[in-house]
Amino acid sequence: MEINRLGELTTDLGECPVWHEGRLWLLDCRAGVVYALNPQTGAVTSRHEVPPPLGSFAFNHDGRIVIALKEAIAALDLANGHLRTLARLDVSHPDLRLNDGISLPDGSFVVGTMHVFREPDEPPLGGLYRLGVDLQLRKLDEGLGITNGPGLNPVSGRFCVADSASKTLYSYAMAPDGSLSDKQVFAQTDEWGSGPDGCCFDSEGGLWTALVRAGALARFDLQGRLTHKIRLPLTHPSALCFGGPGMGDLFVTSIRNSGRLSASGPLDGAVLKVTGLGFQGAARPLCRLPL
């Protein structure tokens, strides 16, 4: 296994890496920028500015991207920069914003919120939402303080999501209409001194997550047992995805200054490329929203 920096890009809040058509795409959420990188050299091949803060994004079937802004989900036309609002949250608060999200095989976009700077007994606003192919936004769950890493396990078929605030990974049964039931604790990360941040799956159903406060990646098997923990040469890894030839490389984004977390090491804010892991991922499905 080798861990190397990919290119020279440094982000304040690098997030949401997505492998798409031979390039690595990612966000700098604080700066409001969508980047595409050459996966071999790390050279920036595309750059698009969007009003910050950004939460996450996914590609739509028509080449546009579905992107989570502070309190709205929008469609961004990469050709001309046109931004069209698709849906808005049902609640507004200065310390609440949309965060991590992902496209699902049915063409929908699922995204969660983060509600920070709460009192100890204050329940979080927002929750987990699904924008369906009918462009209707529906709440799937609530009570998640900092939603990260949503995704569908390719082996078990269960939907998983992280709450970084409670240092817990949950799994659910997902019905064909996208509704969730049978909520279970899949794994907890408190013993490693960090909440789980972004997540992705390998072809064996292993869940990989960034231990954002521990400078490491963790892999859990289908039973939620830790199988791998990989130390990284930076302070705050934020999210990860598989990509590259055969989907065998793992790309990791990181944080230099998120507003709450900061670090000043030489690789903080960089994108890392991990090779030789011996695992493979799968390309993410496209959204199929009628934009």
Query: Residues 177-197: pLDDT tens digits?
Result: 999 999 999 999 999 999 999
Q: Which two tokens stand for residue 60?
A: 């739509």
pLDDT in tens, 150-165: 999 999 999 999 999 9
The answer to whether the beta carbons of residues 144 and 163 sit under 8 Å apart is yes
Strand 14-20: give its sheet, edge to edge. 14-20, 23-28, 33-37, 44-49
- Per DSSP, the three-state class of 245 is helix
pLDDT in tens, 197-251: 999 999 999 999 999 999 999 999 999 999 999 999 999 999 999 999 899 999 9
CATH no. of 2-275? 2.120.10.30
pLDDT in tens, 90-116: 999 999 999 999 999 999 999 999 999
CA distance 199 to 219: 9
At 132 the pLDDT is 98
User: For the chain, what is the mean pLDDT?
Assistant: 97
pLDDT in tens, 45-68: 999 999 999 999 999 999 999 999
At 281 the pLDDT is 97
CA within 13 Å, CB half, 96: 19
CA distance 111 to 101: 4
Tell me how many degrees the CA angle 129-238-116 measures, rounded to the nearest 5.
55
Q: What is the share, in percent, of the chain residues with pLDDT greater than 70?
A: 100
- Sorted by where each begins, the domain ranges of the chain are 2-275
Of the candidates 246, 188, 218, 187, the residue with the CA atom closest to the CA atom of residue 39: 246
- Per DSSP, the three-state class of 191 is helix
